[in-house]
Amino acid sequence: MRNRSVTLIFVSLVLWAVVTYFIFLDQPVGKDQDKVDKLSNQISRLEKKVKQQIIINQELLEGLNENKRRKKQYEKSSAAQLPIDETEKDKYKKHENNNVKSILLKKIEDSNARNKPTHDTILPDEPVHDVTSVQKLPDGSPVIAILVVSCNRITVERCLDQLIKLRPSKEQFPIVVSQDCDHRQTADVIARYGNQLLHIKQPDQSDIDIPPKEKKFRGYFKIARHYKWALNQVFVKLGYNTAIIVEDDLDVAPDFYEYFLGTYPLLVNDSSLWCVSAWNDNGKANLVDEHAPHLLYRTDFFPGLGWMLTRDLWLELAPKWPKSYWDDWVRQPEQRKNRACIRPEISRTRTFGKLGVSNGLFFEKHLKYIKLNEQFVPFTKMNLSYLLKDNYDIAFVNDVYQSTVVSYSELKSGNIVAPGPVRIPYYTRQSFKNTSKLLGLMDDFRSGVPRSGYRGVVTFFYNGRRVHLAPSANWSGYDITWS
């Protein structure tokens, strides 16, 4: 294996040398100089890619050597490990027997099998974990890592207690807690969970070079740096193909895992989707139908706050990951590329972290009123194919623009004779904001997209009715200047 990697590095170097020779030692002159300059720029880019490939090959070689060494160590130590707790064995066996694959999941090809994980120990003092088979369970069900992003909150135990209590299988949902800040008390809390999770620590605690005008936003720079490191550990070092990101200040619903298992086939089969989120930005108790916890939607707005992504998406985003404000960066058209997320009618997460880098921004006014789902919905037994883009868009547009047009005053008073959903039109940024404030919706835009919006439409529940706050039927796309 070492010889193969060394050969790759040698071939890359030879290729670079040969190309450089023909460009710089055999240059034409005179009229062809412009062509040479253009070709030289192309070679410079090629040279950069070759150097990057050399670095990747070196890291791969180191990872393979470490993998081999750790595998031997694990084989020696496994014989000395204590027997698995019988209760845990029974719990997992029961899960295996009762597991029912969703309708869409049965159609998935084993496309993830080609990605072999690389085993690596994040820190020297971490226990050895066997991650040689992290893609699927023996019955074909997906393995989905739970990445808990932590810093200096000892209340992370509230989040971890719920994640561990509710998860149907330790094998299917391995929990990785990535801690930044080097906070001893928080580290001690996480350490108490032992082998129920993997605790990794961000090694880079150095100061970040921040523009003078943004010094007070230092926390956002550290968060972006931590996210990049943590996601690289999960997808590149540990080799998982799918992960759910959970912040350390989130409560989770009883069907949190069921929700992500049920929507997983959508994410991997529909290329127009790039995430599944547990969060509804307009999920206040008076804006959702509490009798419809099964309802799911597509949204052009990236919700975050408990969301699932794939390794392929991370490998796309990682090379250009920003130094700060990563969530708003993700919402930019250059990253989103007209892709959507799945979001629920009733949120499957709720934040209890009033204090943080945002200093309680939106919490008192909005976040603390978000309703957390309390009913278990068997998503894996439901046909969710209506959420696939080809099915969803036609039905959605028909539902929105065939609904009765009403004013805010009519909606509030309840004096509407027509049954079914209704629509409140908006035509300008200001009219949207004015109506949103009256209804209690979040009225801001990110890269021109309103929160929970799809094709410019914000759908919610009000006074016992489904309501669409919608642009004109000939809507042509988001206006980034509305942000």
Known catalytic residues? Answer: 327
Q: b/e per residue, 419-450, with b = 16+ CB within 10 A? A: eebbbbbbeebeebbebbeebbbbbebbbbbb
Cα-based distances in Å from 148 to 151, 357, 403, 465: 10, 17, 42, 37
- State how far the Cα of 311 lies from the Cα of 205, in Å rounded to an integer: 26
Let me know: does 275 contact 267? Beta carbons within 8 Å. yes
What is the 3-state composition of the chain as percent helix, strand, coil, each rounded to the nearest 5?
45, 15, 40
Count Cβ atoms below 10 Å from residue 6 Cβ, excluding itself. Answer: 13
Cα 329 to its chain centre, rounded Å, is 13
> 245 in helix, strand or coil?
strand
Locate 120 and state its tokens. 């690596």
- State how far the Cα of 381 lies from the Cα of 258, in Å rounded to an integer: 10
Let me know: does 206 contact 125? Beta carbons within 8 Å. no
- State how far the Cα of 435 lies from the Cα of 423, in Å rounded to an integer: 12
> 203 in helix, strand or coil?
coil
- State how far the Cα of 329 lies from the Cα of 332, in Å rounded to an integer: 5
Closest to 198 (Cα-Cα) out of 121, 311, 95: 121
Locate 99 and state its tokens. 């597991």
User: Which residues have a Cβ under 8 Å from the Cβ of 359 and sit 6 or more positions away?
Assistant: none
Q: Among the residues of 372-466, which ranges form H helices? A: 389-401, 408-413, 429-439
Closest to 57 (Cα-Cα) out of 3, 113, 129, 112: 3
**Cross-strand pairs, 149:** 178, 247
Instruction: Give the end-to-end CA distance of the chain in Å, rounded to a whole number.
Output: 52
Let me know: does 267 contact 310? Beta carbons within 8 Å. yes
- State how far the Cα of 387 lies from the Cα of 279, in Å rounded to an integer: 17
Cα 400 to its chain centre, rounded Å, is 28
Locate 33 and state its tokens. 């100089």
